[in-house]
Amino acid sequence: MEPGEIKSILGGLGIKPSKRYSQNFLISEDIARKQVEAAGIESGDRVLEIGPGLGILTRYILERTDNAIFIEKDPHLAGYIEKKYKVDVICDDALAVEFPDVDIIVANLPYHISSEITLRILESGFKRAILMYQKEFADHLIAQPGSRDYSRITVAREFYADAEFIMKVPKSMYHPSPKVDSMIIKLSSREPPITPRDKDHFFKIIRLIFSHKKRTVRNALLSEAGILGISKPELRDKLEGLPHADERAFKLTLEELNDIVEFVYNIDI
Ligand code: SAM
């Protein structure tokens, strides 16, 4: 799809690419084809595409399966896809709609919702997802413990899925061109390598300690005493014996983080 063609379709639909909806459209058919190929769609697979936009991925998805679902927030684009590909599109916010039960997810994600939508995807029971992200966000997804990109989203990803780098996509491959390059990442779901006693509690404590990445785990927890519903001095006493207390959260493996969460779970606060 040449930028000229994209402009003319958008003009015909009466829309200007909206920053609020992260509307940057992929130009390269070659990248679109490779992205869909990487999904390894087989004929029985139920596939979800989030934000089909002008349908550059949609065409290749529909070549492989007729069991696909589309969620597009922009009603003009949803109508365009329905007409062009003779499919039904759920015209809604992918963060608000009930998440469909699918095997494979393919999307050039709206970048402003990368974090929330990735958490929804990870928790959804998917098998495989081939997702394009802004490079900076993708770096967080594939980060290793100890790197400055290792963050809360890395922990969530590590909990639910393996991540594999597929390819880098320069910003010039989009119209309009965004400020930064992109990356395609493959997520393959698998059993969590740890079994926290309470998953919600695990992610709550992870959120608290990663919101103070530069502090030691002990100090991060102490700064959140209020949220934990306990006074600081009382918490300090209860944290006596906390494993990895003097480490920073981003240096710890999933197993070590789970040791911390288990300890907090057991101190009765
Ligand atoms: N798939 C197209 C492509 O590769 O050219 C468009 C990708 S563009 C980065 C993101 C798409 O997601 C746009 O079509 C936009 O309208 C849609 N979108 C934005 N926010 C959304 C949301 N919350 N739920 C569903 N779709 C959304």
pLDDT tens-digit profile of 168-205? 999 999 999 999 999 999 999 999 999 999 999 999 99
Q: Is 71 in the pocket of ligand 1 (CB under 6 A)?
A: yes
Please check whether residues 163 and 262 belong to one and the same domain.
no
**What's the domain range around 253?**
199-266
Q: What is the pLDDT of residue 213?
A: 87
Tally of domains within the chain: 2
Please identify, among 171, 189, 207, the residue that sits at the C-terminal boundary of a domain. Answer: 189
Cα R_g (the chain), whole angstroms: 21
Give the contacts of 173 (CB within 8 A, at least 6 positions apart).
Answer: 26, 27, 28, 31, 182
Angle between helices 254-266 and 152-160 (to 10 degrees): 100
Q: How many CA atoms does the CB half-sphere of 11 hold within 13 Å? A: 6
Residue ranges with strand state E in the chain: 25-26, 47-50, 68-71, 89-90, 104-108, 128-134, 161-169, 174-175, 182-189
- Of all protein residues, the one whose alpha carbon is nearest to atom 21 of ligand 1 is 73
Q: What is the pLDDT of residue 262?
A: 96
- Of all protein residues, the one whose alpha carbon is nearest to atom 6 of ligand 1 is 53
Pocket-testing residue among 25, 82, 99, 137, ligand 1, by greatest number of atoms within 8 A of Cβ? 25
Are the C-beta atoms of 157 and 118 separated by less than 8 Å?
Answer: yes
* Nearest atom of ligand 1 to the alpha carbon of 21: 19
**Does residue 224 belong to any structural domain of this protein?**
yes
What is the model's pTM?
Answer: 0.94
Please check whether residues 147 and 228 belong to one and the same domain.
no
Pocket-testing residue among 22, 30, 69, 92, ligand 1, by greatest number of atoms within 8 A of Cβ? 22
